Amino acid sequence: MKNLMAKIINGKEIAARVRAELREEILSLKEKHGVTPGLSVVLVGDNPASRVYVRNKGKASEEVGIHSAQYDLPESTSEKELLDLVDRLNKDSSVSGILVQLPLPKHIDEEKVIEAILPSKDVDGFHPYNVGRLMIGAPTLQPCTPYGVMMLLDSTGVDLSGKNAVVVGRSNIVGKPMAMMLLKRNATVTICHSRTADLAEKIKSAEVLVAAIGKAKFVKGDWVREGAIVIDVGMNKDADGKLCGDVDFEGASERASFITPVPGGVGPMTIAMLLKNTVESARKAAGL
């Protein structure tokens, strides 16, 4: 085996640091201002992956001192019942953040539900208002996964200004907001997707590569530019049923300067940023 060149960006460690800082901050909010951040998580139906996510979010909230409430609704819940619950949580001053776990059952319009959440309580950062603020470079609550990726990039100590950044994937949850955040840091950003011609060539130009397409080991090791920073947002299973990312980790590690593992890279950061957004929202609501 060749010597690995890449330093591993340890998302678990960085997320643990973020949580420790938040614990201190929440303690101070409670003691000095009588403010306890509250997160309400709504789960509709019985999607096993969603159930795991929701449980992890609840656990992480309690661990840092956020009051966590979970609403488990049956698959048969109507759109109106869900919107009524969102409305109640919007009006409840003890709730700093509202998160409706996606995907929702087919008969419920996800867009309508996202738009019903108050932008100031939208800790997922999906509301059109918050997305628009990000677009004009004046972000409020930011989408958790790309927000976490920015923190991982910061941990490398590399200045992003002027760097060629390539984002593979154009989803509203990761790809598009990721591009906006990199742009705000003065990177030169290319967004690639399934219809991009000469995808491998585009990726080879990336000094910073963020892969978020959801295809196991899609990005080959020899597509990675020497010395690039590689952030792998993918969470897939390989042919042997093992968790893997969108990037061929072994191959890419021989060429990259920094790389995130899967698991243990971006995943832990997403939840850490959700907690950060919840605390931010509680602060604003208390006028701090």
101 catalytically annotated = yes
Give, in degrees to the nearest 5, the angle at Cα 106 between 101 and 107.
105
From 7, 30, 46, 57, the catalytic residue: 57
User: For this structure, is 184 an active site residue?
Assistant: no
Sheet holding 229-232, edge to edge: 7-8, 258-259, 229-232, 208-211, 164-168, 188-192
In DSSP terms, 4 is beta-bridged to: none
Catalytic residue among 124, 232, 246, 248: 124
How long, in residues, is the chain?
288
Please state the three-class secondary structure of 103-164 as a single string: CCCCCCCHHHHHHHCCHHHECCCCCHHHHHHHHCCCCCCCCHHHHHHHHHHHHCCCCCCCCE
In terms of DSSP bridges, do strands 164-168 and 67-73 run parallel, antiparallel, or are they unpaired? unpaired
What are the DSSP E strand ranges found in the chain? 7-8, 38-44, 67-73, 97-100, 164-168, 188-192, 208-211, 229-232, 236-237, 243-244, 258-259
Q: Is 154 a catalytic residue?
A: no
From residue 248, alpha-carbon distances to 37, 124, 181, 219 in Å are: 40, 29, 25, 6
**Type of residue found at 122:** D
CA distance 270 to 286: 25
From the list 46, 80, 92, 101, the catalytic residue is 101
Catalytic positions: 57, 101, 124
